[in-house]
Amino acid sequence: MGEVERTASAFPTAIGANAPAMDMTQMLFNPFLPEVHADPYPHYRRLRETEPIHQPFPGAFMLSRHRDVVPLLRSPNVSSDRRKSPMYDLFLQSLPDPERFQNIPPSMLFLDPPDHTRLRGLVNKAFTARVVDSMRPRVQAIVDGILDEVGERGSLDIVADLAYPIPVTVICDLFGVPNEDRAQVKRWSLDLIYTLDPLVAGDRLEKAAEAGMAFREYLRGLIADRRSQHGDGFLSALIQAEEEGERLTDEEIVSMCVLLLIAGHETTSGLIGNGMLALGRHPDELRRLREVLTEDPQAIRPAVEELLRFDAPVQLTGRLVLEPIDVDGVRIEPGNDVITLLGGANRDPEVFEDPERLDVTRKTNHHVSFGGGIHFCLGAPLARVEGQIAIGELVRRFPSLEIDTETAQLRDTVTLRGLTSLPAAV
């Protein structure tokens, strides 16, 4: 099973270790309750207003205000490396094969400097805004291909037909995955996303473990192939970086690729799906967006930022405290986990005017949907390009688009917020 948790839960030590012993129905904020899951925003508001530095159980804190979340993510006194947690040994003991788990190198998302700095430095170049801008024509071609067909058919599922295929196709392009393997990569990716959630049911975890092993094995083959061919793609560049003395092992490359696939797939689908759902629920804003786009195609940029703020695809992330920290006068000791509620910070009235309102032309928008600090989303420029083209084209091309918000299906994950289905007629 080990493959999985290496790419896994933002805070396995906190909820994973403590949750079974506690009565979750008593929690001030319990993201697993169906009504909270369906609409967490009133609950974030209550937290911000009543207990902004909330302790759901001993060993964990939850932050919901922008002014607390941002400094925490930037603090040098916290860690993303779960191996440094006092609970880590307990966690290892709970695994059927701890040794195997320990042999898998963690991806950079779960590392601190200097390892994090080294790994991020190696891939940064491939994801800068400039490089990603050069990918616009390819993303446009993917979206056009899908929407041409939709136009003929008259309907689509915004999630299954548009939001899912775009990011996985782009990542497969990047890795040089042959066409015939892409459906398989997509299936693995869908199974793997459950590993990002704090509590995962056994059968899901097992499926995810199998997908993780199969995908890693597949990537090893792809890397061996590139090694023999000396190509100039993304994988070849990573291999060469290793050969230039950067010490990136094959297993590190594999972990990097698994991270890029998982981190970019469900999240970007979430942006497109949640964004279109929000527009479907606010038809006036959908109309406004269509109008402003006819005058200025660049208006899609602030609109996508607003959709990211309004219903963030990543709702929370966690850090382990290494040195004492002070959050608005509350001292948090080493060994505690701190969960930052990104979705809560995004609706903070201290930072956003009329925060519960969707405003596709919102001017200043310091949302935290891409996190902050050294782990700030590496793929943000790419996600933005994909979101802008997909949402922009859908709105522009189909003036009588009808989004069936009533039958939208919410995915049952808590860290990642997204849909499994959003039918629409064009």
Binding-site ranges for ligand HEM (CB under 6 A): 10, 80, 108-109, 120, 167, 171, 259-260, 263-264, 267-268, 271, 313-314, 317, 369-371, 375, 377-379, 382-383
Task: Tell me whether the omega of the peptide bond preceding residue 42 falls within 30 degrees of 0, making it cis.
Answer: no
Complex with ligand HEM: residue 195 or 210, whichever CB lies closer: 195
CB of 132 to ligand HEM, least distance (A): 9
CB of 96 to ligand HEM, least distance (A): 27
Complex with ligand HEM: residue 10 or 391, whichever CB lies closer: 10
For residue 319, give the amino acid letter: R
Complex with ligand HEM: residue 48 or 417, whichever CB lies closer: 417
Beta strands in 101-249 (DSSP E): 155-157
Complex with ligand HEM: residue 382 or 391, whichever CB lies closer: 382
Complex with ligand HEM: residue 138 or 287, whichever CB lies closer: 138
Listed as own residue / partner, the contacts of 183-192 with beta carbons closer than 8 Å and 24 or more positions apart are: 184/218, 185/215, 185/218, 185/261, 187/211, 188/212, 188/214, 188/215, 188/218, 188/261, 189/215, 189/261, 189/262, 189/265, 189/266, 190/265, 190/266, 192/4, 192/7, 192/258, 192/261, 192/262
83 DSSP assignment: G
CB of 177 to ligand HEM, least distance (A): 14
Distance CA 170, CA 182 (A): 11
CB of 268 to ligand HEM, least distance (A): 4
Distance CA 194, CA 203 (A): 11
CB of 109 to ligand HEM, least distance (A): 4
Complex with ligand HEM: residue 81 or 404, whichever CB lies closer: 81
Closest residue to bound ligand HEM by CB: 379
CB of 21 to ligand HEM, least distance (A): 25
- 283 HSE (CA, 13 A, CB side): 7
Beta strands in 262-414 (DSSP E): 316-321, 325-327, 330-332, 337-341, 402-403, 409-410
CB of 119 to ligand HEM, least distance (A): 8
Complex with ligand HEM: residue 189 or 268, whichever CB lies closer: 268
